[in-house]
Amino acid sequence: MRYLTPWLCLATLVLCGDHDDISNQFGAARQLRTWDEAYALAKTFVAKLNTLEKISLSSGSGISFGPCSGNTQDIDRLGFREMCFQDGPVGVRGTDKVSVFPAGITTGSTWDKELIYLRSRAMGVENRLKGVNVALAPVAGGLGRAPAAGRNWEAFGSDPYLTGVANAESVKGLQDEGVIACAKHFVGNEQERYRLVIENIPNLDREILASLSSQIDERTLRELYEWPFVDAVEAGAGSVMCSYQRVNNEYSCESTTLIRDHLKSNASGGLNFKGFVMTDWFASAIPSLAARAGVDVIMPGDIGATGTVAAFLPASDGASTNGTRLDEMVIRLVASWYKMRQETDWPDVSFSTWSSDDIGVFLDRGYIGQINSHVQAAQPVHATLIRRIAAEGTTLLKNTGGLPLPSTALSIGVFGNDAGPIPESSCGTFGACSAGTLAVGWGSGTGTFEYLIDPLQAITAKAAEVGAVVESVLDDYAYTEIQEKAVGKDVCFAFVNSRSGEGTNSVEGNYGDRNNLTAWRDGDTLVKTVAASCSNTVVVIHSVGPILVEEWIENPNVTAVLLAHLPGQESGNSLVDVLWGDVNPSGKLPYTMGKTEDDYCCKVQYDWDGFQPEQEFSEGLFIDYKWFDKNNIDPRFEFGYGLSYTNFTYDAESLRITEPFGEVDSIDFMAPLFNISVSITNSGSVAGKEVAQLYLGYPSPTNSPVRQLRGFEKLSLQPGETKTAVFVVTKRDVSYWDSGEWKVARGAEYGVEVSASSRDVRAHGTVTF
Ligand code: BGC
């Protein structure tokens, strides 16, 4: 009930979110069918199909044979149009008149459930208007085990609880517009290198014969990597994508354990997933094995029109091991389609991912026609939303007085290539750019920019408004010029970035994963050069994930540091909002920033001495802050950390922990078990937002992390105002996986911490069941 229609908000004056000005501009959510209703319709439909037609729905029509990243085929006889599966997590990729939203990692940094939902809702609008049936989003794997892993930025942060909440809100957002969400990549896809046999990396001395195997114990799978998928399934996700690499020596997409037993089963611990499972693109070497393991749709299907049927045969071969398997595959796909009511008023696909020409060949249909009709999908309110998310995700790491800019800051220096526009010539396919400002990462998860407001452009426009003068140097290495121009400025901005993406591309020798955690193009030297000449240096970082800042973080001339993550198309505008204090920063880190790469639990496995690479997840549950806590490592900035232009006081005395809402054993796993609340006051002089965080420490016999995030609430507070943060803790939130089942530790104390970050505890308590 949080996302009320405008009418309800106005009529009842009940609690609507902080973003009513935006949410009011969305219509009522689509009324989805229940799974039971959808299955009944799907069974009737599938009963009318012949075997070949069933096969044509259980596998894609071949890469680039239809307009979208993946496509099924038309079944003309029954008026069933091909289904369009399109990337991706920052908006509809590969077409025009769409938005590029802030990346998952930026969105996770807002810790704002309403913004997370609205971002996905807006993407739902754009996908629907373009005729997309299945959006290949959201991403919850990689979770961020290794900070340098290439695709961590597509997901929401390195904690399963935070990512789980974000996953659920994102699924709801897309599906409230009738677009089938696809929770990906299931599971253990924690780096790019060795993810795919056909993607052998240049410069290695040998070709691998099998993808990397993530060796993960069962408890870690359940409590860490599968956890966010539980939320996606609970939120009604229509599809799940199994991942490229192997888990415990079996391909994820061919693992009966993962797909049948964990994902689909309703037995103990099973996620009881009702939608369809699709493979990642070319993830299944042997489709019949995938079909047997429980995969329902093989993507993208084989290449070539005549090859299409042959490509489907392995799937039907899988079916032959069990007469009902092929039917189940198709029923699950069509049930998701009926659940979203896509049989009524669903737009035709109006674009081609593969060509920007207006007229072209429909390879799958065998005729020439208009392949791009430029339907306007981006809406003005989406730009407002993108700017809001990017500003609210921006994380203030250091501030000794540099920000917000005072009205006396009238001479401004802007330094660093990351402040400027992206030169077309620096970009390869899939948004793999090596220069210009960094607004999203590269790969299938990138976006197609209709426009991008770079920081220099926005700062220049704002400066004109306030009567300030801007001088800039965009060449990162023009140290002499930088020094000359930095001298005497009221404020200097030093821009640095760190890029990564999917293994599809390499940029400056980074094959998807980053080679290290330092700023690109010698950003550390750039910052030190600026700071040497300018006593009021504000550093702005655009980064895919943790970045090392040790070389300059304690430099007294560095008076503020903003981590703007990956902001999407409104980059410069959202930054200016924070710099001049129109928006008080409220983003908090969705990962830990260590002092060295060795501080972290895990690294990308760059080398392997054989043909079937493996990676031991021997750290178990202890990734990111859980590793730092366990090993008493001082981070530079801990998980959950972020400053504000105001101060917040937590009233430790006000901490309340309710009794359980019933007998623990009889409460459902996903149901609320008890509440925790605490009051928080804005004790500073400007309005601001605080993300209050709940961490629980499980009793020690459970061998759990020192603390685990189990709740967060973002409160908007005027100066002097007090509000109560209420955390609803479910039974799942106090459960751990032991000997094949979820258990609550009985008769021993759980530690309760209400905190401003994972290391900044403001109220302590305990609870026992
Ligand atoms: C990626 C997926 C993506 C698919 C289709 C794969 O390479 O791993 O995330 O959805 O391509 O483009």
Percent of all residues in the chain with a pLDDT value above 90, rounded to a whole number: 89
Going by pLDDT thresholds of 50, 70 and 90, the confidence category of residue 200 is low
Give the pLDDT of residue 304: 39
The residues pairing with 676 across neighbouring beta strands, listed in sequence order, are 657, 727
Instruction: Please state the atom number of ligand 1 nearest to the C-alpha of residue 93.
Output: 12
The DSSP result for 355-421, as a single string, is: ---SEEEETTTTEEEE---------HHHHHHHHHHHHHH-EEEEESS--SPPTT--EEEEESGGGSP
Cα distances from 243 to residues 40, 108, 511, 613, in angstroms, run 30, 22, 18, 16
User: With left for phi above 0 and alpha for psi between -120 and 50, is residue 133 left, alpha or beta?
Assistant: alpha
3-state secondary structure 227-289: HHHHHHHHCCCCEEEECCCEECCEEHHHCHHHHHHHHHCCCCCCCCCCCEEEECCCCCCCHHH
Mean pLDDT of 241-269: 96
Atom of ligand 1 nearest to the CA of 154: 9
Grade residue 202 by pLDDT with cuts at 50, 70 and 90: low
Q: What is the pLDDT of residue 205?
A: 58
- Per residue in 71-86, pLDDT (tens digit) is 999 999 999 999 999 9
- Say what the pLDDT of residue 203 is: 56
State the Cα–Cα distance between residues 350 and 160, nearest whole angstrom. 37
Other beta carbons within 10 Å of 728: 17
**In this model, does residue 44 exceed pLDDT 60?**
yes
The percentage of residues in the chain with a pLDDT greater than 70, rounded to a whole number, is: 94
The predicted structure's pLDDT at residue 318: 46
Quick check: is 629 catalytic?
Answer: no
Q: Do 400 and 418 touch, CB atoms closer than 8 A?
A: no
Look up tokens 């996606």; give the residue.
232
Q: Which pTM was predicted? A: 0.96
Evaluate if residue 762 carries a pLDDT over 70.
yes
Q: Identify the pLDDT of residue 206.
A: 66
Please tell me if the CB atom of residue 136 comes closer than 6 angstroms to any atom of ligand 1.
yes
HSE toward the beta carbon, residue 241, CA cutoff 13 A: 30
The mean pLDDT value of the chain amounts to 94
pLDDT per position as a tens digit, 431-490 = 999 999 999 999 999 999 999 999 999 999 999 999 999 999 999 999 999 999 999 999
- The confidence score (pLDDT) of residue 600 equals 98
Tell me the average pLDDT across 103-108: 98
Handedness of CA 384, 390, 396, 401 (dihedral sign): negative
Q: Which two tokens stand for residue 401?
A: 């007085």
Cα–Cα distance measured from residue 660 to residue 672, given in angstroms and rounded to the nearest whole number: 9
Name residues whose C-beta falls within 8 Å of residue 269's C-beta, 6 or more positions apart in sequence.
Answer: 222, 262, 737, 740, 741, 742
Nearest ligand 1 atom to the CA of 189 is 8
* Residue 316 CA to ligand 1 centre (angstroms): 24
pLDDT at 630 over 80: yes
- pLDDT at position 106 is 99
CA of 692 to the centre of ligand 1 (A): 35
Cβ neighbours for 717, distance < 8 A, ≥ 6 positions apart: 648, 680, 681, 682, 687, 688, 689, 690, 723
Judged against a pLDDT cut of 50, whether residue 705 lies above it is answered with yes
- Residue 359: both structure tokens together: 């007229």
How far apart are the C-alpha atoms of 486 and 360, rounded to whole Å? Answer: 53
What the block records as the tokens of 360 is: 């072209």
pLDDT at 13: 36
pLDDT above 90: residue 296:
yes
Indicate whether 309 pLDDT > 80.
no
Q: Does residue 135 have a pLDDT over 70? A: yes
How far apart CA 238 and CA 349 sit, in angstroms, is 19
Ligand 1 atom at shortest distance from the alpha carbon of 445: 9
Q: What is the pLDDT of residue 305?
A: 38
**87 CA to centre of ligand 1 in angstroms:** 7
Answer whether residue 669 shows pLDDT above 80: yes
Ligand 1: centre distance to CA 442 (Å): 12
Contact 295, 333 (CB under 8 A): no
Q: CA torsion 146→148→150→155, rounded to 10°?
A: 60
In contact, 398 and 561? CB cutoff 8 Å: yes
- Where b means 16+ CB within 10 Å and e means fewer, 393-403 reads bbbbbbbeebb
Q: Is 184 in the pocket of ligand 1 (CB under 6 A)?
A: yes
- Identified catalytic residue from 112, 176, 231, 280: 280
Ligand 1 atom 3: the closest Cα is on which residue? 444
Is residue 715 within 8 Å of residue 689, measured between CB atoms?
yes
Residue nearest (by alpha carbon) to ligand 1 atom 6: 281
Cα separation of 699 and 705, whole Å? 10
DSSP 486-525: HTT-SEEEEEEEE--B-TT--BTTB-SS-S-SSPSTTHHH
> Does residue 38 surpass a pLDDT of 50?
yes
Report whether pLDDT(365) > 90. Answer: no
Peptide bond into 19 cis (omega under 30): no
Q: Does 647 or 609 have the greater pLDDT score? A: 647
